């Protein structure tokens, strides 16, 4: 039986043609089923799993979210990822690099944002902007990168660097899941129009969103290439239909649940000395409260 993980994953070595990947959902599942039952159940499942990961203190998770404007990145974070305990979650938006960030290599700011073991870090945009926006708008010309390094092979070198960096993280216990929210150009236009005509959404509108639509084909082509070059077994890309936000959120929640199941973690076993301390503490507290073993059931719930 095919799982969401298998259905939406770009397998290592696959060719990617985004025209062949659905942007919408036409099945029998309903929005009400997702929000009333499926999403809360999945959220609870990976919330509990992340708490085990936090206690285990061996693994970390980086969730990369990339998309065209208005594809639903912020809503996905708000509706799905906030099920995770805030103490174990951090969200990092990667906007235009600051002067300080430009004084370093392009992966430097991502290294600063990596999670600790037991934590989940969400990259709202990511290091992939440096093979995407940078390329579409030719931002390396006149940059601080030495001129002799800005040649025809710069992008293939960066793909290799990203693969190596992500492999290094995976081999150190930090897993990476990468989601491309695949929205259609017409659906994006409708969402941008809502931002223009609805006063309570005006604050979301940016004139750059309209300018970037002119480069739609270029962005789609580069997304195809970067996923072909950097989707690996250890750091896979998932292409998620994004024309129906509720379905996008459900699919991502399913993939997250599957990921935590694959880790197969348990709470760490206490050392014998700590078990003895625990037994002593239990006996002392029971004496203080005048309890017997039969009274302890309610504390185990």
Q: What is the pLDDT of residues 108-159, one digit of tens each?
A: 999 999 999 999 999 999 999 999 999 999 999 888 999 999 999 999 999 9
Q: What is the DSSP letter of 95?
A: -
pLDDT of 96 over the 70 cut:
yes
Confidence (pLDDT) at 300:
76
Q: In whole angstroms, what separates CA 41 from the centre of its chain?
A: 19
> How much is the CA Rg of the chain, to the nearest whole Å?
23
Top-confidence residue, 22 or 276:
22
Q: Taking residues 279-285, report their average pLDDT.
A: 87
pLDDT of 221 over the 80 cut:
yes
In angstroms, rounded to a whole number, what is the distance separating the alpha carbons of residues 120 and 90? Answer: 6
pLDDT of 177 over the 90 cut:
yes
Confidence of residue 249 (pLDDT cuts 50, 70, 90): very high
Q: Environment class of residue 209 by beta-carbon count within 10 Å: exposed (0-12), middle (13-18) or buried (19+)?
A: middle
Question: Exposed e or buried b for every residue in 161-191, given b needs 16+ CB within 10 A?
Answer: bbbebbeebbeeebbbbbbbbbbbeebbeeb
């Amino acid at each position: 039986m095919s799982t969401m993980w298998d259905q939406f994953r770009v397998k290592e070595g696959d060719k990617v043609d985004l025209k062949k990947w659905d942007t919408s959902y036409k099945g029998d599942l309903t929005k009400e089923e997702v929000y009333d039952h499926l999403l809360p159940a999945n959220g609870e499942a990976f919330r509990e799993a992340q708490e085990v990961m936090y206690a285990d203190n061996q693994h970390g998770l980086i969730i990369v979210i990339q998309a065209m404007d208005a594809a639903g990145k912020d809503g996905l974070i708000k509706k799905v990822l906030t099920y995770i305990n805030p103490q174990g979650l951090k969200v990092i938006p990667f906007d235009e690099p600051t002067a300080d960030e430009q004084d370093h290599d392009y992966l430097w700011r991502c290294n600063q944002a990596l999670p600790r073991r037991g934590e989940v870090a969400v990259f709202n945009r990511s290091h992939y902007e440096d093979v995407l926006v940078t390329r579409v708008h030719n931002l390396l010309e006149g940059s601080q990168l030495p001129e002799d390094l800005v040649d025809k092979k710069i992008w293939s070198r960066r793909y290799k660097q990203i693969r190596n960096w992500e492999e290094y993280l995976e081999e150190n216990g930090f897993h990476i899941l990468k989601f491309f929210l695949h929205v259609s150009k017409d659906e994006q236009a409708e969402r941008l129009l809502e931002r223009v005509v609805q006063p309570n959404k005006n604050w979301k509108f940016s004139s750059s969103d309209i300018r970037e639509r002119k480069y739609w084909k270029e962005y789609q082509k580069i997304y195809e290439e970067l996923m072909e070059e950097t989707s690996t077994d250890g750091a896979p890309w998932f292409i998620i239909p994004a024309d129906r936000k509720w379905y996008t959120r459900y699919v991502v929640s399913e993939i997250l649940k599957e990921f935590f199941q694959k880790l197969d973690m348990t709470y760490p076993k206490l050392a014998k000395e700590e078990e003895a301390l625990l037994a002593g503490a239990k006996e002392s507290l029971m004496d203080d409260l005048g309890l017997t073993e039969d009274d302890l059931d309610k504390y185990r719930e």
